[in-house]
Amino acid sequence: MLNGGSMLRNLYDWTMSLAGKKSSERWLAAIAFVESSIFLVPADVLFVPMALARRDRIWRYALVASVASVLGGIAGWLLGYFAFEAVARPVLEFYGKLDTFDHLRQSVDFSTIVLLLVTSGFAHLPPIKVVTILSGVAHVNIWLFAFSAALARGARFMLLGWLLHRYGEPVRGFIERRLTQLAMAACTTVFFSVIAYRYVAH
């Protein structure tokens, strides 16, 4: 089980420190990749200060983060499909997400998993690593998975990029404190609306 506060804080601070390095773009790609399957800190933590420091490169950074995140999601899918017991289960246990995974595995069907791919990719609802691994375990079609992940992750990073390009530093506090909460609220509304529609329709 992950020891919450101190480890998360250390990971957050370490990730933030990478923004000032010459290799920051490679670090952004690496963190966006592993976030989708095994890493705890979201790539937004690195993307935001990098984008603010080089606003002329915002769209490049957004593209790098989006592509790397989708590739990382595919890695998570592969872990779920081919190596759940050997690799994915220990990762989920380490982060304290195994109960969340088991609950989703038992309670959702194929179409709901596809919907969760969009909500987790855009708003981390539920955590993206949980859904990418679940998609592999459930044998979601890899092309459908990649399309859904690209749609959601691309939308998130492009939205972040647009906000930072348009408003700059003044919007940073809003992004760090409120954007994810608002995205989660919107995705929650969409998710339950779809579930309610399906329930009424059937």
3-state secondary structure of 2: coil
Between residues 2 and 115, which one has the greater pLDDT? 115
Question: Is residue 102 very low, low, confident or very high in pLDDT (cuts 50, 70, 90)?
Answer: confident
CA–CA gap between residue 31 and residue 47 (Å, rounded): 10
What are the pLDDT digits (tens) for 181-196?
655 555 555 455 445 4
* Backbone dihedral angles phi then psi of residue 121, each to the nearest 5 degrees: -70, -35
Dump pLDDT digits (tens) for 116-147: 888 777 777 777 888 898 899 989 999 999 99
Q: What is the mean pLDDT of residues 101-122?
A: 80
Higher-confidence residue of 88 and 174: namely 88
Q: Which residue has the tokens 């709901």?
A: 112
pLDDT at position 63 over 90: yes
What average pLDDT does this structure show over 58-62?
94
Of 4-8, 47-51, 122-126, 168-172, give the lowest mean pLDDT range. Answer: 4-8
Other CB atoms within 10 A of residue 181 CB: 10
Is 149 within 8 Å of 122 (Cβ atoms)? no
Min mean pLDDT across 2-11, 13-22, 80-89, 111-120 is at: 2-11
Quickly tell me which residue has 């647009």 as its tokens. 162
What domain count does the chain have? 1
Contact between 116 and 101 under an 8 Å Cβ cutoff? The reply is: no
Domain holding 77, by residue range, is 4-201
Instruction: Report how far apart, in Å, the C-alpha atoms of 50 and of each of 27, 33, 57, 169, 192 are.
Output: 11, 17, 9, 11, 35
The pTM of the full predicted model, rounded to 2 decimals, is: 0.79
In this predicted structure, the answer to whether residue 2 has a pLDDT above a threshold of 70 is no
